[in-house]
Amino acid sequence: MSYLNPELHRDWKTNGYLKIPRFFSTEEVGYLHTWVSEISCWEPTSDKWMHHYESTPDGPRLSRSENFVPYHTGMKATVTRGKVLDVVSELMTEPAVLYKEKINYKYPGGGGYAAHQDAPAYEFVDYHITCLISVDSATAKSGCLYFAPGRHQEGFIALDEKGCVAPKTASVMKWIAVPTAPGDILLFGSYIPHKSPANRSEQPRRIIYLTYNAVSQGDWREKYYADKRQAFSEYAEDGSNRDKQISKIAHFQGETVNHANLH
Ligand SMILES: O=C(O)CCC(=O)C(=O)O
């Protein structure tokens, strides 16, 4: 079954991202809501899922959870088979495999993300497609994504020391806000520049991000998380402050809080 008509394929090629409204039904969104809440209640671990926290006006809150798929049956089924995998494979023009997954919570007052491309943070494979699932509604006020349409065909753009698009270049790019409602998905490749503001609303803006690569490039998911864990344990020792990041690139603009300091 195809999820995309020729017009959607054209939009994808032209813009480098594609929104499909109501990809998940109201009932499915109900499940996703429950699962995101369940995962957010898991205690921090040093060897399974990863939680990241940030300071907000309401105190420390989760900013991100990742590596949860092996530990959650419902999420695992939804992201490793079925319609998300199918639509990503269709865009990839070959079968896809999960590379990484995360939930970005962006609670009220939660930080935004500087203009960046994902490719510098996603090592081992050259190209990825991410499927964003809007669990809450994301608006300009609550911190939806902004894209620079068509700029996915230029390789790395003005990559700075943070791994982001240099602010001077980003400031003259044309940015389009892409709000999403619960159940909408937004597909984007790893070279499309994007950014998002802080959440200035009173509501959480929870979004699931599922990133895939072509099966022909191999299955890198475990290696990705082992490498990230290793890198962050080195950052914690090397005095570089990079352990304050939530990714190998320094795109997150919130103020991170170490979970050891939460209680
Ligand atoms: O969730 C957001 O607002 C943007 C996230 C993002 O671009 C990222 O995590 O790389």
Average the pLDDT over each of 56-65, 165-174, 201-210, 228-237 and give the range with the smallest value.
Answer: 228-237
* For residue 263, pLDDT beyond 60: no
Q: How far is CA 193 from the centre of its chain?
A: 13
Q: In whole angstroms, what is the distance from residue 137 CA to residue 126 CA? A: 31
Contacts of 13 (CB under 8 A, 6+ apart): none
| Residue 194 CB less than 6 A away from ligand 1 | yes
Percent of the chain with pLDDT over 90: 90
SS3 content of the chain, % helix, strand, coil (to 5): 30, 25, 45
Segment 116-142 mean pLDDT: 97
Tokens of 26: 């109201």
Q: What one-character DSSP code corresponds to residue 44?
A: P
- Average predicted confidence (pLDDT) for the chain: 96
195: which residues sit within 8 A by CB, 6+ positions away? 112, 113, 114, 115, 116, 145, 146, 170, 175
What does the pLDDT look like over 31-53, one tens digit per residue? Answer: 999 999 999 999 999 899 999 99
Enumerate the H helices of the chain as residue ranges.
6-15, 26-41, 73-80, 83-92, 167-171, 221-237
Cα of 209 to ligand 1 centre, how many Å?
A: 8
Ligand 1 near 91 CB (within 6 A): no
- Res 40: pLDDT: 98
Q: Which of 172-176, 198-202, 215-219, 227-231 is predicted least confidently?
A: 227-231
Pairing of β 59-66 and β 96-104: antiparallel
For ligand 1, is residue 113 a contact (CB within 6 Å)? yes
Q: Measuring from atom 3 of ligand 1, which residue has the nearest CA?
A: 196
Alpha carbon distances (Å) from 110 to 35, 58, 193: 21, 10, 21
Structure token digits, residue 229: 């864990």
* Burial class of residue 207 in the structure, from the number of CB atoms within 10 Å of its CB (0-12 exposed, 13-18 middle, 19+ buried): buried
How many A from CA of 72 to the centre of ligand 1? 22
Length of the chain: 263
Q: How confident is the model at residue 212 (pLDDT cuts 50, 70, 90)?
A: very high
pLDDT tens readout for residues 216-226: 999 999 999 99
**C-alpha R_g of the chain:** 17
Find how far residue 127's CA is from the centre of its chain.
Answer: 15
Max Cα-Cα span within the chain:
53
Give the pLDDT of residue 46. Answer: 87
Residue 262 has pLDDT above 90, yes or no: no
- Ligand 1, residue 143: give the atom nearest the CA: 3
Domain ranges in the chain are 6-254
pLDDT of residue 130: 98
Higher pLDDT among residues 167 and 238, named by residue: 167
User: What is the per-residue burial (b if ≥16 Cβ within 10 Å, else e) of 36-46?
Assistant: beebbeeeeee
**Does CATH place domain 6-254 in 3.30.530.20?**
no
Which residue, among 28, 52, 27, has the nearest Cα to 39 in the 3D structure?
A: 52
pLDDT at res. 261: 65
Could you give the percent of the chain with pLDDT greater than 70?
98
Distance 163 CA to ligand 1 centre (A): 14
| pLDDT tens digits, one per residue of 52-95 | 999 999 999 999 999 999 999 999 999 999 999 999 999 999 99
pLDDT of res. 246: 85
Using the mean position of ligand 1's atoms as its centre, give its distance from the Cα of residue 247 in Å. Answer: 10
Q: Assess contact for 254 and 131: CB atoms under 8 A.
A: no
Quick: pLDDT tens for 140-188: 999 999 999 999 999 999 999 999 999 999 999 999 999 999 999 999 9
